[in-house]
Amino acid sequence: MSWYRNSVFILKGLKDYTKSGYASASKQFCEKDLDVDCNGKSFMITGANSGIGKSLAISIAKLGGTIHMVCRNPKYADDAMQEIKNTTGNPNVHVHLLDMSEPTSIAKFAKKFIEEHESLNVLINNAGCMVNDRQVTEDGLEKNFATNTLGVHMLTKSLLPLLKKSKEPRVIMVASAGMLTQKLNVDDLQAEKMKPFDGTMVYAQNKRQHVIMTEEYAKEYPEVKFFSMHPGWADTPAVQNSMPDFYNKMQGKFRTPEEGADTALWLAVSKAALEQPTGEFFQDRKVVSKHLPLACTHSSQEDHDKLMKILDDYFSQFSE
């Protein structure tokens, strides 16, 4: 089955996820959707110092939005902040230093942010990692899970009180169609049983978790719009560093970071996105399937509930 999933995924990717796929899909876009005024609205973007995150920050800053960049590396963050300000002429760009693999730090950051800010209109969970050898954090968590799944849950749930009292609140998960190759494995979230460890597979599992988390958030918090999305295969430092073989093979076929960011931008700022169903998975501004045909990747509501219970237990543990 994994051979089938991977084969269908690659064929679909070459057709839909590449630069040519974007060119074809974008013919159906309504460009007026992005002709919006974001003055007075605030946007938090994790991993905003490079790639898709920085592209989103630049585009939203051009529309007048206040940008809160959540980044781990102070130098990269400050350099990117200055570039965004200089490029857009928007002075309302702020850096917050945070390691998304540290759940206690995330809880403290969110508490302080809520105390200091009256609103947050949009949270874009963009930051992520693909660690190709199994690493364990100081909290005893596998690094990919800690960053990509638990970190996202900690930040999203911690900021929900602020989001819920803000105008037209939205949460966007920058996921990946790589999750199409994976069925949720709630019994091995930390890849302890995976022999040998496969960072690409763990990352795809994390992205499957994102899509399920988006569904479950949407059910629990109807006053907030939740969306997950696939950026396509975009030319970013993360892809180059984490998947060098894939990066070299795909030269000339990658989307630009701006093309990769387009759907997340549309979901974050457009009025049209507010008319879309919450909890869905998007690609090129359209709702798309969360599963490949005949791939047997559907999971039960029981497993979804188990995933959210595990994440909520961690949330309680690290928020104390």
What is the reported pTM?
0.97
How is residue 139 annotated by DSSP? T
Residue-level pLDDT at 1: 52
The topology (CATH level 3) of 2-319 is Rossmann fold (3.40.50)
Q: Torsions phi, psi of 226, nearest 5?
A: -115, 130
**Chain segment 73-107, per-residue pLDDT in tens:** 999 999 999 999 999 999 999 999 999 999 999 99
Determine the length of the chain: 320
Q: Token pair 């954090």 is at which residue?
A: 137
Q: Render pLDDT for 168-183 as a digit per residue (tens, 0 to 9).
A: 999 999 999 999 999 9
Residues 320, 317: Cα–Cα separation, whole Å: 6
Beta-carbon contacts of 76 under 8 Å, excluding residues fewer than 6 positions away, are 49, 50
Q: What percent of the chain has pLDDT over 70?
A: 100
Pairing of strands 286-287, 281-283: antiparallel
- Residue 130 is predicted with a pLDDT of 94
Residues identified as active-site = 203
Grade residue 244 by pLDDT with cuts at 50, 70 and 90: confident
pLDDT tens for each residue of 217-242: 999 999 999 999 999 999 888 888 88
Closest CA to 199 of 244, 233, 159: 244
